[in-house]
Chain A
Amino acid sequence: MRSFEEIPHKLREADRNLPFRVPGHYFDDFPARLQSRLDQETSPGAGKRLRMIDYLKPALGLAAAFASVFLLVYFPARLVTHSVTMAQRSGTSDEDKIINLVEQVDDHTFFTLLENGTTEEKIDGPDIESYIAANYSDLDIFLEIQK
């Protein structure tokens, strides 16, 4: 039995009813609800019934992992190769430039140019004078002479 001396005065006088209620018929219904839960626990395969999603989960997880790795590797790799290609394209050699120019010239003009290059005509004084007069100003000529 409780000795009242151990309980402080104020608590001795306090209302000891709890401020808690339960729903109506709670204790009448509880055994049936508990039994239903126990039946679930004891039924064969209880808690082991797998749905379609449970079967697919490992495969989906694996697929997602592969996809993540692919995305993580593919896009950075693609960016790197693309920039290398662009650099190669912009850095074309002189030989490539000549080939591009030659390809734009038609066959007739090309052969004419070749023949002009092989002529053995000699350029004399009046020709040079007329070339200089046509292509250089007097000032340019004066400056060249002063050098």
Chain B
Amino acid sequence: MHPSDQELIEGLRKEASWNEAFQSLVLKYQERLYWHIRKIVLNHDDADDVLQNTFLKVWRNIGQFREESSLFTWLYRIATNESLTFIHSRKRHSLVPLHEVSDYLKTRMVADEYYDGSDIQKKLQEAILTLPEKQRIVFNLRYFEEMPYQEMSEILETSVGALKASFHHAARKVEEFISRLD
């Protein structure tokens, strides 16, 4: 049983319980954050790097957490930003000239030994890769994680209305892409 976010925050405020609280935070959120990151970077090794970077950033900045948002929202925001930073820095340093971020991601996804599934699952991922970056994140959070728009709004710092429109466009595009493949 994981401690509540409030218990974690209180533990992180005291020096005596800091280490234990941080360990609990990692155990509680590592899996959720990993899958959120993996859906953005698509490759396991990259997701592992980003997850470590995310917790490192949390570890450094937890003192600045002001509870203006929930701990969960704050962690997701860090993970999203770290994922996007990671992708753009890797694309810049890629030896192969790639015009789009999606080209880089597709190359990394297909090369990953931990990428396997049914044809329809793979087609869906290819379809999601055709979406613009922000739409891709919105689609993943809504379609796979069933996250409420209000939470998404806090994580992505975008209005609920804009997120709804973004998801609507994304879902249509994904459906069209899959229909063309059939």
Contacts and interface: CB of A to CB of B under 8 A. Distances in A.
A25 interface: no
Interface stretch (A5-13, A85-93, A116-124, A130-138): A5-13
Contacts of A14: 120, 124, 178
Interface stretch (B7-15, B76-84, B88-96, B109-117): B109-117
Contact of B171 (A6, A15, A16, A34): A6
A1 B175 CA distance: 21
A10 B114 contact: no
A31 to B, nearest CB: 5
Given A6-B171, A19-B116, A31 B39 contact: no
A10 B172 CA distance: 10
Interface of B is mostly: helix
A21 interface: yes
Given A11-B175, A34-B26, A16 B144 contact: yes
Interface in B53-75: 55-56, 59
Interface residues of A, number: 28
Contacts of B39: 18
B153 interface: no
A54 B26 CA distance: 36
A6 B121 contact: no
Interface string A20-50: 1111001100110111011001000000000
A17 interface: yes
Interface of A: 1-2, 6-11, 14-23, 26-27, 30-31, 33-35, 37-38, 41
Interface of B: 23, 26-27, 30-31, 34-35, 38-39, 42, 44, 48, 51-52, 55-56, 59, 112, 114-118, 120-122, 124-125, 142-144, 146, 164, 167-168, 171-172, 174-175, 178-179
